[in-house]
Amino acid sequence: MELPFAESWRIKMVEPIKKSTREEREQWMKEADYNLFQLRSEQVYIDCLTDSGTGAMSDRQWAAVMMGDESYAGSSSFFHLKETINKITGFEYVIPTHQGRAAENVLFSHLVKAGSIVPGNSHFDTTKGHIESRKATALDCTIDEAKDTQLEIPFKGNVDPKKLETALAEHHENVPFIIVTITNNTAGGQPVSMQNLREVRAIADKYGKRVVLDSARFAENAYFIKTREEGYADKTIKEIALEMFSLADGMTMSAKKDGIVNMGGFIATRHEDWYEGAKRFCIPFEGYLTYGGMNGRDMEALAVGLDENTEFDNLETRIHQVEFLAGLLDEYGIPYQRPVGGHAIFVDASKVLTNVPKEEFPAQTLAIELYLEAGVRGCEIGYILADRDPVTRENRFGGLDLLRLCVARRVYTDNHMRVIAAALKNVFDRRDSITRGVKIVWEAELMRHFTVKLERLQ
C-alpha cells in the first residue's frame, strides 16, 4: 500500500482554541457591527482572516530568538539576516523594515512622485495605497483570465505582456519601475511563471526600466514554478528563487508570510543608487540601518525562517494542506478561484449567494454566515474592500466579490480544514434561503473594510 502524505514536521507546543455557541456568536457579531475585524480573537474558533504574521515558528527559529543581538548599531543579527537574504535573492543591499508596507513606504518615498505610473499585476492594497497617496497611479496589467474564477490555468497571476508594453509605450517617461507581486494575492494567491518574469524583464529592458518583486509569498511562487512549469521539476526551491530574483532589480518583502515570522520585512536590491536613496527614508521612518523596524531577535528568527521556508518539504506540506481544503470544497461543489493558490481559498461569493444583490455585499454576507455557522473567520476581498471610486463616490462593483479563507503556516491540522469545509457546506446547502445581505451604516473614506459598521438586512 502506498503511504499517505503527511506533514514534514511534528508538533512541540500547542495553543488551546475555544468553541462557542451560535447564540454567543450572534451576539458577538452584532457587537462587532458585522465586521469580522472587530471580533476579539477568542471569539474565533478557526481563524482564516490572514496568513500574515500568523504562522508557527519552528524550534530552530525560537532558538535563534535567544541569539538576538539588540545593539543599536552594527548588530550581528542584522548581518546574519543580510547574509541569508544575499544568498537567497542574490541582492546585495538590504534594508530591514518592520513589515511589508513599511518597505513599500521607504522605497517608494525615494522612487514614486506625483504623476508617476507604476504598472504591475493586481497591486496589493498597501502597495496601491503607497502609490496613490503620492498622487501616482497603480496601473493593473494582470492577465484577463484571472477574472474568470472557473478557468483552470497554471499561472493565473501573470502580467499581461501586451498590457505592460502598451503602458510603457504610452507612459514610460513617468514609470519609475514595474512591480510584480509573487504570488498574486489579490487574484487569489495565483503564481507568476518564470517565463512571465522573463517577458517582463525583456519589456523593462526595452524601455530602460527596473523591476521590483513584491515578494511576500515568493517561496510559494517558487514551489508552483517547480511543480507546474516545464524545466523546473529537478531544480531546488532555492535555485528557482535565485533565478526569479535574477530577473528583477529589487524587492519589497513582508516577512510575515513566507519568512514565517510574526512581524518583519525588508527591502533588498542590487543597485547602490536605490539603496542610497531608500536609506535616507529608513532612518526617520523605521530606524537605524542595521535594525530598521526590527528587533535583533526577530532578525535572527527571520534568517532561519527564510532558510527553512525555501526548502521543498516545508512548502509541500503547506500547499498540500491548502489543496486538501480545496479538494473538500470540490466534493461539495463550492465554487472558488481555480486552481487553488498558495495561501488561501477564495470562494466566489457571487456564485454562491446568487439571491443577495451586489449592493448588499454577498461576500461579506457569506463571511458573516460562515462565522455564525462555526466560528470560522474569513475575510471579504470584494466590494467593501474595493472602496468607493475617488471621483464619483460610487461603490466599485467592477471586480470580483470573494470570501478569502487563509491557511496560516504550520498552525492548523487537516481536521481543522474539515471543519472549515463542512461549515461552508452547511451555508452552501441553504444558500437559496439567504436573500438579504448587509447595509453600510458607517465607513471610513479609505480602506473602509477594517472599520466599516454594518447592519444586517432582513
The site for ligand F0G (CB under 6 A) is made up of 50, 52, 99-101, 124, 126-127, 181, 185, 214, 216, 254, 256, 265
Q: Which three cell numbers stand for residue 381?
A: 476581498
- Which of 214, 258, 298, 387 is catalytic? The answer is 214
Cβ closer to ligand F0G: 265 or 296?
A: 265
Closest distance between ligand F0G and the C-beta of residue 12, in Å?
26
Phi, psi of 212 (to 5 degrees): -110, 135
Cβ closer to ligand F0G: 216 or 374?
A: 216
Q: Phi-psi category of 377—alpha, beta or left, where left has phi over 0 and alpha has psi -120 to 50?
A: beta
Cβ closer to ligand F0G: 215 or 350?
A: 215
Q: Which three cell numbers stand for residue 402?
A: 470573494
Contact between residue 213 and residue 251 where contact means Cβ atoms under 8 Å apart: yes
| 388 secondary structure, DSSP code | B
Handedness of CA 135, 271, 256, 194 (dihedral sign): positive
Looking at residue 164, its amino acid is L
Cβ closer to ligand F0G: 229 or 258?
A: 258
Residue 449 appears among annotated catalytic residues: yes
CA distance linking residue 379 with residue 203, whole number of Å: 35
Closest distance between ligand F0G and the C-beta of residue 142, in Å?
13
In the three-class reduction of DSSP (H, G, I as helix; E, B as strand; rest coil), residue 389 is classed as: coil
Cβ closer to ligand F0G: 181 or 196?
A: 181
Residue showing the smallest CB distance to ligand F0G in the complex: 100
| 343 secondary structure, DSSP code | S
The partner residues of 251 in beta bridges, in order of sequence, read 213, 268
Phi, psi of 53 (to 5 degrees): 75, 10
Q: How far apart are the first and last CA of the chain?
A: 54
Cβ closer to ligand F0G: 431 or 448?
A: 448
Characterize 195-218 residue by residue with b for buried, 16 or more Cβ atoms within 10 angstroms of its Cβ, and e for exposed: ebbebbbebbeebebbbbbbbbbb
Residue 124 appears among annotated catalytic residues: yes
Cβ closer to ligand F0G: 65 or 447?
A: 447
317 class by beta-carbon count within 10 Å (0-12 exposed, 13-18 middle, 19+ buried) = middle
Q: Which three cell numbers stand for residue 367?
A: 463571511
Q: How far apart, in Å, are the Cα atoms of 382 and each of 124, 334, 350, 451?
A: 13, 17, 10, 15
Closest distance between ligand F0G and the C-beta of residue 64, in Å?
20
The rounded radius of gyration (Å) of the Cα atoms in the chain is: 22
Cβ closer to ligand F0G: 156 or 256?
A: 256
Phi, psi of 106 (to 5 degrees): -65, -50
- Which of 34, 45, 91, 124 is catalytic? The answer is 124
Name the strand (E) or helix (H) holding 326. Answer: helix 312-332
Closest distance between ligand F0G and the C-beta of residue 122, in Å?
9
- Which of 5, 19, 63, 72 is catalytic? The answer is 72
- Which of 257, 303, 412, 428 is catalytic? The answer is 257
Residue 257 appears among annotated catalytic residues: yes
Closest distance between ligand F0G and the C-beta of residue 174, in Å?
23
Closest distance between ligand F0G and the C-beta of residue 129, in Å?
10
Closest distance between ligand F0G and the C-beta of residue 343, in Å?
8
Q: Which three cell numbers stand for residue 12?
A: 512541540
Looking at residue 246, its amino acid is S
Closest distance between ligand F0G and the C-beta of residue 373, in Å?
22
Q: Where in the sequence numbering do the catalytic residues fall?
A: 72, 124-125, 214, 216, 257, 449
